[in-house]
């Protein structure tokens, strides 16, 4: 992004960008805006939306998929292999509770490092 160029931050509903607008605006050198209502509101207004089918899934969906698989794995292994595997499900549940209470999601930080979430150079 060139210095002084307008930047518009978006997310699906506008909730995440709205909640983080001050931090996002501080990251750019120039005017910054948040799309009120997000891409959902833009599409509902009948405005054109172009979807990048090569883009990775939204981070929250990736976290939901991985957390769900880990909990399911812990339960299945807990019943079939050893009860200690229920601890995996408890660990994931504690992590999700911590993420909800603090706004910091360690799983999202780890998933952000995955090759499919890195921008091509």
For residues 66 and 111, the answer to whether their CB atoms sit within 8 Å is yes
| DSSP one-letter code for 58 | P
Give the Cα separation of 87 and 64 in Å (integer): 18
Q: How far is CA 45 from CA 38, 40, 49, 118, 121, in A?
A: 11, 9, 11, 31, 34
Which residues have C-beta within 8 Å of that of residue 111, sequence separation ≥ 6? 59, 62, 63, 66, 117
User: Which of 11, 32, 71, 107 is an active site residue?
Assistant: 11
**Collapsed DSSP state (helix, strand, coil) of residue 36:** coil
Question: 11 an active-site residue?
Answer: yes
What are the catalytic residues?
11
């Amino acid at each position: 992004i060139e210095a002084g160029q307008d930047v518009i931050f978006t997310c699906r509903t506008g909730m995440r960008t709205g909640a983080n607008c001050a931090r996002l605006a501080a990251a750019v050198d120039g005017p910054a805006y948040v799309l009120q209502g997000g891409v959902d509101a833009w599409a509902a207004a009948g405005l054109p939306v172009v979807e990048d089918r090569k883009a990775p899934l939204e981070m929250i969906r990736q976290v939901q998929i991985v957390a769900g698989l880990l909990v399911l794995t812990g339960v299945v292994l807990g019943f079939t292999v050893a009860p200690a595997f229920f601890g995996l499900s408890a660990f994931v549940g504690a992590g999700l509770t911590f993420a909800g209470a603090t706004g910091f999601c360690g799983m999202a930080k780890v998933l952000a490092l995955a090759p499919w979430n890195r921008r091509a150079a």
